[in-house]
Chain A
Amino acid sequence: MHEDLVDSELGGGEPVDESERPSRVDRTAFLAAAGAVVAGGALGVPVATAARSPSRKVRTWNRTADVVVVGSGGAAYAAAVTAQSRRASVIMLEKASQAGGTTGKSGGMWWVPNNSLMRAAGLSDPREDAIRYMVRCSYPTLYDPNAARFGVPEWEYSLIAAYYDSASVATDALARLGALQATVQIGLVFPDYYAHLPEDKAPYGRGLFPKAPDGTPGQGAELIRQMKAAADRRRIPLLLNHRVTRVLTNAKGQVIGVEAASRGRTIAVRARKAVVFGSGGFTHNRQMALNYLRGPIFGGCAVPTNTGDFVEIGLELGAEFANMNNAWWGEVPIEQALESSSTPSLVFSVPGDSMIHVSRYGRRVVDEKSQYNERAQDHFFWDPVRGEYPNLVLFMIYDQRTADAFAGNYPLPARGASAPYVIAGASLDELTRNIEARLQQLSGRGSVASRVLANLRLDPAFAANLRETIARYNGFAETGKDLDFNRGEAPIDVFFHAFANSPKHDKPNPTMYPISSSGPYYCILLGAGTLDTKGGPKVNARAQVLDTKGRPIPGLYGAGNCIGGPAGQAYWSGGGTIGPALTFGYLAGVNAPKESVKSE
């Protein structure tokens, strides 16, 4: 669809700035060096896609291992280290020039129900309760507390059950292997994202962070450092700049290896037993983002090499797919997303108390303190009467109090600093005019699967409505009760607000304070984005990739954001991404070495 528009005008995995000023920085070359662009293709869109004929006789194998692991993020390393510990020879192939994937640039948290550290802290997390919570959040339209499997089909249930049964086992096993040490220090006060729901019986303690050598909670870089060190100690080869373009099968349809492209050369790597994909999602493949995701996005903070390689490969191999419409959602400052190959950051928690999000009609549309995955989905609301996404661009409005008191809390600039993406106005009328001017300046510019539409304007009643909205919001701030969106009622609202060293005030709801009756006022344009997508080939509880008949494709495994995993639409809590990645990576690492050796 819209081939001309897609390829020539929108970005996605590429620099898309269309500023009038020329640049001497050839960003295409940087992306190519990063492994995010394939020579000869449209920018950011892989051209040398998966094999058109999976079965192919290979006469010469350049490398051989029992298990070939594709990727080098959390899922891939969990699979690699686990498989090697079970006496399998392993080789890892990474498309990028650097190991770590999106895990490496993440916050590093992983969510593990019934983990041993929470048990040691005296917290219990019974199986049925935890599964009920996950089903409730992942499949809310099917959830039935009194039905078998809580109302969801067998596959959906089995993956969630497998996650509960294996997540803690995987975490403990990785610790024993010296691959990843965990701390629950923050997790004990970090609530689940739906802790307010009655189904959440263990709202604290499931979140783990990598334990840095000094004992403090580390981030994704620390997680990858530990896992890579473990893999290096085990002498697992990691070939960087190797993009797997084809999975090779024998006459029986069994997976026997892969082909990988590296700097103009193609090598064949024999997998005697199995191939495990942990190669990330498809955020930066604009065609996939347009075709699959259920809402328009402006960007994503996945590494730019996440262009859906396993989607292409899975299609060729006859895999069944799941969860293609969902992602780990978040909001991005649109103007930053337009400039970056990979959005620098999502707005995980919105700083400010005298702050609201409004649509182009000047009306609030969301609990601004809700967690990022939920806030982002408000951008997807479609108004069929007006024929528009009225929330495609939302306007984060705040006053000088928030600018000062929350300075330095992204995306607010540090005190005394200027941020080009912040629009200012001495009054609400002036702010309105300046927002209009900025929209015109950005007119038509886009990234991934959205653009600031050429005809996007503030509604003529914006300023008047905004005054009404502020007056109503200020009333809520005085009473402490947000009658429109329940702001500050969920534990995660309060946690994110308080954790950022937010100033205390004398109003009853800490997340709300009246917006000043006098300027200056400020605005940041926000759009939807992703941490990464979470759809792809379906796997079973052993992390085996399934075909359209529900049968495992012999020798093919998957984990992480490249598969259709257990989460459905939910983001159970912080670490809901890396938790399943590590767990299903571990499961792949356990089961792949058990495979028989496949003949060529």
Chain B
Amino acid sequence: MLVYRTVEPEASSARATLVALHGRDATLDELVPLTRSLGPDLRVILAEAPRVVYVATVPVSFTWFRTGDPGHVEPASFGDSLYQVEQFVYDVAERHPGEPHPFLLGYDLGAVLALTAARVIPDFLSGVIGICGYLPAISGWSPPMEDLAGLPVLLVEDPADERVPAQLRKRTAKQLAARGADVRLKTLEGACALDPRVEEVVGGWLGTRL
């Protein structure tokens, strides 16, 4: 049920699809600059979070789920969004039959969802990119997929990230690798502000996998 915008490649027909999940209090346009030039044959689908953020009853932006202390997600709203991202990935596959599974990119809260999705539907993804995200721990819930079977995962972290403690970032990389993901961790100053170099890093990583 997610709202989305599809951006087809200009020069050629798409050979791969990237689904992009924006960060907190934003719209699907947030990741337009980052995803604009990631690959000539790449279809980009920008998905929008379902929860409306209002100011004086005017909707200004959207968010995926509620958060608490660093590393803490509110489970009910997180579960709702994780479910919707899962279903959205299935929808994308149905809309583009015969194509490889999509890559899933997330930034900030979108990255928390994308990285969790790696542990839920790795067999429906060609790879996962998490920019300034982490794997949350949710009491009483375990991700269903134990073996990520070499799923490529790019983690982009910012040493100045104030929201995700360094320990949690490291733990995320470790957990994904321990489950068999092919994890690459890139540390980049300004990553959480979506510094233009993030595009280079992501584009480079994607380029070897398209």
Is B121 close to A, CB under 8 A?
yes
Binary flags per residue of A31-64, CB closer than 8 Å to B gives 1, else 0: 1111010000000000000000000000000000
Residues of A within 8 A of B74 (CB): 34, 96-98
Which bracket fits the contact residues of A?
35 or more
Is the CB of A577 closer than 8 A to any CB of chain B? no
What is the minimal beta-carbon distance from B177 to any residue of chain A, in angstroms?
Answer: 21
Whether B48 pairs with A29 at a CB distance below 8 angstroms is no
B40 to chain A, nearest CB (A): 21
User: Does A244 make an interface contact (CB < 8 A)?
Assistant: no
A345 within 8 A of B: yes
Q: What CA separation (Å) do A29 and B51 show in the bound complex?
A: 21
A residues near B139, Cβ cutoff 8 Å: 33, 97, 241, 263
Write out the residue numbers on chain B whose beta carbons fall within 8 Å of the beta carbon of A303. 76
With contacts A217-B55, A417-B3 taken as known, whether A30 is within 8 angstroms of B50 at the C-beta atoms is no
Tell me which of B78-86, B153-161, B162-170, B186-194 binds A.
B78-86
**Nearest residue in B to A346 (C-beta to C-beta)?**
B52
- CB neighbours of B66 from chain A (8 A): 98, 100, 104-105
The reply to whether A98 and B5 contact each other, CB–CB distance below 8 Å, is no
Are A30 and B2 closer than 8 Å at their CB atoms? Answer: no
Shortest C-beta distance, A202 to chain B (Å), equals 19
B90 close to chain A: CB less than 8 A: yes
Chain A nearest CB, measured from B8 CB (Å): 12
In the bound complex, CA of A87 to CA of B139 (Å): 36
CA distance A27 to B82 in the complex (A): 9
Q: In the complex, A349→B29 CA distance in Å?
A: 23
Partner of B1, one of A36, A104, A335: A335
- Cross-chain contact B3 with A418 (CB below 8 angstroms): yes
Minimum C-beta distance from B2 to chain A (A): 7
**B71-119 with Cβ < 8 A to chain A:** 72, 74-80, 82-84, 86-87, 90
Q: Given that A25-B83, A340-B50, A417-B5 are contacting pairs, would A107 and B144 also be in contact in the complex, using a CB cutoff of 8 Å?
A: no
**In the bound complex, how far is the Cα of B2 from the Cα of A105, in angstroms?**
20
Chain B residues within 8 Å of A417, by CB = 3-5, 28, 46, 48
What are the residues of chain A within 8 A of B138 when measuring CB–CB? Answer: 29-30, 33
Chain B residues near A (Cβ < 8 Å): 1-6, 27-29, 46, 48, 50-59, 66, 68, 72, 74-80, 82-84, 86-87, 90, 120-121, 138-141, 144-145
A-side interface residues toward B, CB under 8 Å?
A: 15, 17, 19, 21, 23-27, 29-34, 36, 96-100, 104-105, 107, 109, 186, 190, 209, 217, 219, 241, 263, 303-305, 335-336, 339-342, 344-345, 348-349, 408-410, 413-414, 416-421, 496, 499-501, 574
Of the A-B pairs whose beta carbons lie under 8 Å apart in the complex, a sample of 29, sorted by A's number, is A15-B79, A15-B80, A21-B87, A24-B120, A24-B145, A26-B144, A29-B79, A30-B138, A31-B79, A33-B75, A97-B72, A105-B66, A109-B56, A219-B53, A263-B139, A305-B76, A336-B50, A339-B80, A341-B80, A342-B77, A344-B52, A414-B5, A417-B48, A418-B6, A420-B1, A496-B57, A499-B57, A500-B59, A574-B57
